[in-house]
Structure 1
Amino acid sequence: MADPVLLVGLALASGAALALAPLPAAVAAALCWLALRWRASRWSLAAVLLALVFSGLRARAALDEAAAHYAWTASLLSPPARCEVRGVVIAPPVLVGEWHRSADEPPSARIDVALSGGSCGDRPLTELLRVRLYGAPLELSRGDQVSLVVDLAPVHLFRNEELRDALAGIARTRITASGSVVALEVDERGDGVGARIDRARAAVRARILATYHPDAAALGRALVLGETDLDPDDETAFRDSGLAHLLAVSGTHLVLAVAGLAAVLRAVLVRIESLAARVDIGRLTATLCIPAAWLYADFAGGGGSAIRAAAMLSCAMLARTLALRPAPVRCLAWSLVGGGLADPLVACDLSFSLSAAATAGLIALNRPLSAFLVRGPWLLRKLLSAVSTTLAAMLGCTPLLLLQGGSFPLLGIAANVVAAPVGELAALPFCLAHAVLPWAPDVERGTAWVGSGALLVVRAVARATARVDMVLPALDPSPAQMAVLVVVIVSTWAVHARWKRWLTLVLGVAGWLLLEILAVQGGAPRARLRVTMLDIGQGDAILVDLPEGGTLLVDGGGFIGSPVDPGARVIRPVLRARRRDRVDVVVLSHPHPDHFGGLPAALSGVQVGELWDTGQGESEGAGPVYAALLEQLRGRGVVVHRPDSLCGPPKHLFGATVEVLAPCPGVDTARSANDNSFVLRIQYGARAVLLVGDTEHEAEDVLIQRHGAGLRADLLKVGHHGSRSSTRAPFLDAVRPSLAAISCGVRNRFGHPHPETRAALAAAGVEVVRTDRGGAIVWETDGSTVWVRRPGALSARHPPRDAR
């Protein structure tokens, strides 16, 4: 029979799926529930059903509350504002930007603050607002009451229908805005447990920076404090090599730290004869280690994996306290129950899920792997035992990693076999010992030297593995495919007859393949023109699916001075979800960073047919990112077309008519890059789309003079994000759109779309949709009827403009 607590824990953790993808999750839950009749009692099945419904309702309520609070935040901070506010620090300060800080710059921290009074611009702060701030003093701690001057903007959600619902993150953290600290004054210092832990963190951080090798300090902070502020090259290397978990605070860290404490406590307490004669020292030590596990989890950053491990370890320690034998499966089960009760969206925490998967791998696979691998002399057996443990945990995580999309390093397991023993047998114990040895400077320096060396060995393995281009394209399953996978796993485990298991596997594979075929067809619709204005923040990125299967990508977004890359964050995941490994035409409307910054990452690993570029960036210079993009594409054999070869008669591309209307016959050097934007008119049947880049008034006037009624279109991509310098009444009279789409970011400080532009569109009777309000815009036509949809919204039919 299945462990009933484990089943309830899995049901509580699955509530997030029921809220985020109701139909496939409900079908999967029903089928799994039926299959479990072979393995669970009636009472267990009833408890599982109640837990699933309870968790699903809580998750849905949390998402709805997050949506309402985010909408209020957006209304308060649109446009972004300078706020004079009061608040309380609610999370440990995290050192950020250390890898690029110059010697004369003071270190700065990222903090989370709950604001409860003050104003933003002329708008009063009437509700509690949780924000994430950068540039704060490092000496802050939880509970500190502060007065601040901050520049704030709503968090950007990047709402695109193919991507995971970003509201889950808002619901879990309740942080709806972020910004930078202009001025901060501490009104009153916190004095609780959290504040004391933060001060201990600060002391350990200072000793790491003072005693570790400079190249290993950031790795040490990640390992001991959970501060993942790595150099971008190191971050990429650890991710691409599959070794990132070695720098995460995991169950291994917790077990080693608490086991070390337990050993010290036993050694001390057993020498107190009067106490040892009356009390079982082992049980007393276990009792004392329960709060120690939670304190260490909090000290190490309070991540999902650390909290889950603390819960599991507490369960084991409590069993020892009660003179019971700890059961690993039951302890894992109670950690899942606790996680699901504390957070109905806990399944959205990847670190929690990976931690649970690694633990499951250890429970299920470590013993058989050890029996197979661990042989030979004592020292070799010790080494092979560590390898076996690493493999068991890695194999437990592998299915989850394969389902995350992107790519999976084929050498990841081999890299773990080499690096994990170094990380877990040398780096981890010495780095943890270093944290408690400030009273012994010579020993502290010795542990720092050994720990740094081990970390640098792990880094060398990560870099060497990442340089070898051997990756397996990871799956990017739809919610329905995930549901099929869950049903197959549960059913094959639940049924006893071998033929039933094989039948389940065959039906599951057939269902998966059918859903994959539907995903491929949905990603490249036939006899349809689909224009998707992606939500990538302040910038443009437009994906055009042509009626005969081809794809155009017009621009790729981009942020100046931000680590967020819309190419990697949005465009590549959308292409993967649509099963697109080729873009036939990439159009760079003009060489500005908010249009080309995301293209390098977006096009990495994607076949590109040709690039349309105005050439102004190359002739006048548009910076290193633009130059590297051209060099990269030319190096891959991509043909670059300029206006002189694109202007002229309309082109017939994959069933649609594409006409380049500007800049023709070529770039006008007297104009800005905005007014030299590519202007494309794409027609299919009786319907047309006009994409104008960042075209402004001067270029609009030229378009009217040259093309007049030839500008007519049902969908207008409004120029320059709706600035006051674009979209005048004469241009709207010529285009006569039914729908105007504006690509702008909720964090933009330019006031886009400008009131004058909104007034012109309203006066023309044009319906307006914006990416900063509702996310991506999907416009689709079969040549006659038009459909428009937004993420999470129902489709809406739009009749022809001349029929209105």
Structure 2
Amino acid sequence: MRDRDSYRFPFAAYPAVRIMLLMGFGISIPHLLSLSFNTVLVLLAIVTAGWLLFEFILKKKFIIISSQFATIFYSLLVVTASMALASLQNEKNSIQIKNSEPIQFYEWEDLRIKGEIIESGKSTSGRDLFTMKVHETLLPKELTWKGEYKIRLYADSTSSDGLFVDDEAEMEISIYEFPEQRNPAGFDYGEWLHSQGISAHGELKEVIDLQQGGWLSFGKWRGHILQNIDQLFEPEKASLAKALLLGYKDDLTPKAKKEFARAGLSHIMAVSGLHVGFIVAPLWLAIPFLWGSKRGKWLGLIVLTLFLFLYAGITGFSPSVSRASLMAWLLTYGRLFHKVRNSINLTAVAAVILLLMDPNQLFDAGFQLSFGAVFIILLIMPEAQRFIPQKHQFRWTGGLISIILVSFVVQLGLFPILAAYFGEFSIVGPVSNALVIPLLTIVVPVGLVVIVSYSLLPEIFALTAIPLEFVLGWIEGVATITGGNSFSFISVGEVSITVFLIWLFAILTISTLRIPKLRWKIAICLLLAVNLLLTEQVIKESEPKKLRITSLDVGQGDAIHIETPNDKHLLVDAGRWSPGGNSGEEVILPYLKEKGIHRLDGVLLSHPHADHIGGMVEIIENVEVDTIYQTSIGYESQLFARYMEKAKQESIPIKNPVAGDIIEIDPSLRIFVIGPTTGSGTSNINNHSLAFKLVYGNTSALFSGDAEKQQETQLASVYGDFLESDLYKVGHHASNTSSTASFMEFVEPEITVASLGFENRFRHPGTETVVRLHKYSNEQNYTSLSGAIMYESDGKVFRKVKWRQ
């Protein structure tokens, strides 16, 4: 009797969940293993034959055995079919990209193209951005190429005015060099373009001919609605209204995006289930009045379908809206026609449909976050709501507590995904959402009516926009106050796959608290996953300690990260500064964030030129800095003054080491300062560079900043053979004024690493220096050619690390 009464999870009630999980597993396999499409087809054929054999041929003779094997082969069939679907998509994408490779022969040349605009937006620098499906390309010498491909184009507002999605255009463009990943943990823009089927990018120079899309063009409608928002609201409020109502975040400043993210409010700008729910809510209230009539049911479904389709259209058919709209349609259909409305199963149905349409959505952050959030709410909230006191459950306070609980559950439930993609986790999200979400129930539907109808009655709807602008100001204020402080979030390092296993079993454990027979089985799995994580940590701690030196590619500048054997972190120089940005925010901070580095034990600045201290302000603002070491010589520049003031505000000690000092950071290594010397008697700031030799075991590395001939001669005369090093960070970006023969005779490095920009205005590297480096070293490296360069030492020898996958 006990066996009969033992609990069995009702898998039959969740068929879509089973298919979704099997599909996800199958789609992942081609991305993890190098399997050709033909190999996958063979596997699919074998599995299909096995399923047919046990399901139809052997079923009459061996009922029980054939049924069991049929179930196994059916599961394998879903997996292999998903593998084939993903492989087919990847194969088609690869063929399309390969067929369009000829366009890369015309890098930095002007071409004329004809095609259709399929996507628009703005780049991080604020430039207009278009994705175009090209049908015809006019090459030099009047040659015409009919090959189809997708290209991403950047434009200024003067050259792109009046362009909308769905427009057919003839343009004059300039082709850029296709991008490659330049730094570890840096965004691989080229890989991302290829994942979107885009095989080229360039500059839009001039629109020669334009045929705008018809009145049914959603791109045109979207463009006009965005213009309505600009006319209705002040610029700052307009950018927030676009993000909040249409999911158009391109006009938001990087600062605003960061504040919303750290406040846990990014989801309100990613138009999704929350917005779709507010829009369809009035129709759901009318559903009981439609139940009694067959025509009423179909009328309600048609109205809902049109509504969802129109909203998805004006939001650009974003993946999040498409997912939410599909789920809303399925739920409404189930309610209207009294079908089974198991929310978990219907959510899985939506996921299966979207994966069938595009299997690569599985690897999209938006897909993972939106479906992850829905499943977490459905699994955890029934248990979480038990903590709401009974006296509040049916009052307005209960609703407010539920909002806070949902936010808390989702934020905590999505922790590993948020950490993996963004490296940060908001801890003020529940409070921020409680202050904002109730207002969205009014702002979203009313705001949409106002911005769509403004062109019809501008005077009336302009008045309606006044209270909306006030609410937008409130939302912006909440994001600024809660997300603009260091206590609003925590930074997270690299997340291992074991953490995801712990996360999964923890959610399942909570969701099965009232199912004892199942609860303990999942709890055991949770404990096994925790033990696996602890084992990983023990193995990691037992690994031999190494020194790692990474010369980041910051263009024409220097930025070197040194990771010591005892996990101390040093930064040698902070890259370059330019009016359009700096290496701190563009390269160094993303790199540190990805590696989970929140503290620098020392920053060694060779000298205060803008190509060596360019990112210091941003670094101080975002990373804890223990001590700054720099040359004592003063320098007149606004950048230097700003950085010094910022260091003073943060109470960061600034030390001025000179030749003969030792910088103590990690007891396993020594940092000997060899320059500058006191009273060098030169006005050339390059010759006051902070130079040092780092020694770990039997290996050493030499750093000389931008030291030129005068300082190098001085170093050679004072230190002589002590300069000999295995790795030499080439001075002054391989200029002809540095790495002189008299200096290199003493250094005699095995490896040289030069940091410089490709085709820079200083014409570095100097021809004479290249010859000398080749003469005095065995391995020569240039960031301008290779991107970031990484070496590791075990105390015996330096080995180059290949950081690209």
- For the aligned pair, the TM-score class normalised by the smaller chain equals 0.7 to 0.9
Q: Pick one of 400, 425, 428 that aligns with 2:441.
A: 425
Q: Residue in 1 aligned with 2:76?
A: 46
Mapped pair 1:109 → 2:128: yes
The structure 1 residue matched to 2:211, chosen from 158, 175, 189, is 189
User: Are the equivalent residues in 2 in contact too, given 1:155–1:747 (CA < 8 A)?
Assistant: no
Partner of 2:677: 664
Shift of residue 573 of structure 1?
5.4
CA distance in 1, matches of 2:693, 2:506: 49
User: Is this contact kept in 1: 2:404–2:430, CA < 8 A?
Assistant: no
- Unmatched 5+ stretches in structure 1: 24-37, 101-107, 271-275, 794-804
Q: Could you tell me how far 1:611 is from its partner in structure 2? A: 1.0
Report 1:546-561 matches (<5 A). 546-561=564-579
Residue 779 (structure 1) shift: 0.9
Q: Does the 8 Å contact 1:359/1:393 carry over to 2?
A: no
Runs (5+) with no aligned partner, structure 2: 1-9, 35-67
- 1:256 aligned residue: 278
* Equivalent residue runs for 1:49-88 within 5 Å: 49-50=79-80, 53-54=83-84, 77=107, 81=108, 83-88=110-115
1:456 aligns with 2:476: no
Contact 2:182–2:787 (CA<8 Å) still a contact in 1? yes
- Once the two structures are superposed, the pairs formed by residues 264-413 of structure 1 within 5 Å of their partners are 280-287=295-302, 289-290=304-305, 292-316=307-331, 324-365=339-380, 373=388, 381=395, 384-385=398-399, 388=402, 391-392=405-406, 395-401=409-415, 403-405=417-419, 406-413=423-430
Q: Give the Cα–Cα distance (whole angstroms) in 2 for the partners of residues 775 and 518 of structure 1.
A: 31
Match of 2:228 in 1: 207
Contact 1:682–1:688, Cα closer than 8 Å, also in 2: yes
- Alignment partner for residue 6 of structure 1, among 17, 21, 40? 17
Deviates more, 1:720-729 or 1:225-234: 720-729
Comparing 502-511 and 597-606, the one that deviates more: 597-606
* 1:706-752 Cα distance to aligned partner (Å, 9 max, x none): 55544332222234445566556665555333323233567967776
Q: Which has the higher contact order (CA 8 A, sep 6+)?
A: 1
Does structure 2 retain, via aligned residues, the 8 Å contact 1:532–1:542? yes
Distance in 2, Cα, partners of 1:289 & 1:718: 66
8 Å CA contact 1:311, 1:334 repeated in 2: no
CA offsets 1:42-80 (integer angstroms, 9 cap, x no match): 366425643664577579769988998999998865xxx
Change (3 A) 1:6 1:394: farther
8 Å CA contact 2:26–2:80 kept in 1: the answer is: no
Tell me which structure has the larger Cα radius of gyration: 2
User: Which amino acid counterpart does residue 659 of structure 2 have in structure 1?
Assistant: C
CA contact 2:369–2:414 (8 Å) conserved in 1: yes
CA-CA distance at 1:197 after TM superposition? 1.3
Q: Please give the alpha-carbon distance, in whole angstroms, between the structure 1 residues aligned to 2:97 and 2:658.
A: 45
- Alignment partner of 2:578: what SS? coil
- Describe the shift of the 1:651–1:421 C-alpha distance in structure 2 as closer, same or farther (beyond 3 A): closer
Q: How many angstroms does 1:437 deviate by? A: 1.3
Output the aligned Cα RMSD.
4.6
Give the match for residue 121 of structure 2.
94
**Per-residue displacement from partner, 1:676-699 (whole Å, max 9, x unpaired)?**
433332222332222233445665
Q: Quick check: 1:197–1:299 contact (8 Å CA) kept in 2? A: yes
Secondary structure of the 1:552 match is strand
Give the letter aligned to residue 112 of structure 1: T
2: CA distance, partners of 1:91 / 1:747: 34
How far 1:384 sits from its partner (Å)? 4.3
- The share of aligned pairs that are identical, in percent, is 24
Q: 1:315 to 1:772 in 2, by over 3 A?
A: farther
Q: One-letter code of the match for 2:243?
A: A
CA distance in 2, matches of 1:623, 1:22: 52
Cα offset, 1:476, TM superposition? 3.1
Aligned residues, how many? 745
Aligned-pair CA distance for 1:705: 5.5
Q: Distance in 1 between matches of 2:720 and 2:100?
A: 43
Could you list the per-position Cα deviations for residues 352-381 of structure 1 after superposition, in whole angstroms to 9, with x for gaps in the alignment? 322212322443355566676597899x84
How many angstroms apart in 2 are the aligned matches of 1:222 and 1:61?
35
Aligned to 2:648: 634
Deviations 1:319-339 (A, max 9, x none): 578773444323321332244
Aligned position for 1:29:
none
Whole-angstrom distance in 1 between the partners of 2:567 and 2:632: 28
Paired residue secondary structure (1:436): helix
263, 266, 270: which one aligns with 1:244: 266
| Deviates further, 368-377 or 699-708 | 368-377
Aligned equivalents of 1:400 and 1:498: distance in 2?
Answer: 21
Is the 1:304–1:349 Cα contact (8 Å) retained in structure 2?
no
Q: Determine helix, strand or coil for the equivalent of 1:216.
A: helix
1:606-660 Cα offsets, whole Å, 9 max, x none, are 44332112245xx322324x43333333344432122xx3212665653323233
How high is the TM-score relative to the length of structure 1?
0.78
Are residues 353 and 535 of structure 1, via their aligned partners in 2, closer, same or farther at CA, if it must alter by over 3 Å? farther
* CA deviation profile, 1:496-531 (whole Å, cap 9, x unmatched): 454433332222222223334555777xx63x3321
Name the structure 2 match of 1:740. 752
- Whichever residue aligns with residue 411 of structure 1, its letter is V
2:170, 2:210 within 8 Å by CA — same for their partners in 1?
yes
Partner secondary structure for residue 601 of structure 2: strand
Q: What SS does structure 1 have at the residue aligned with 2:498?
A: helix
Contact 1:679/1:693 (CA < 8 Å) preserved in 2? yes
1:586 CA drift (Å) = 0.7
What is the SS of the residue equivalent to 1:419? helix
Q: Which letter does structure 1 place at the counterpart of 2:181?
A: L
Verify the 8 A CA contact 2:558 2:575 in the aligned structure 1.
yes
Distance change in 2, residues 1:165/1:620 (3 Å): closer
| TM-score normalised according to structure 2 size | 0.78
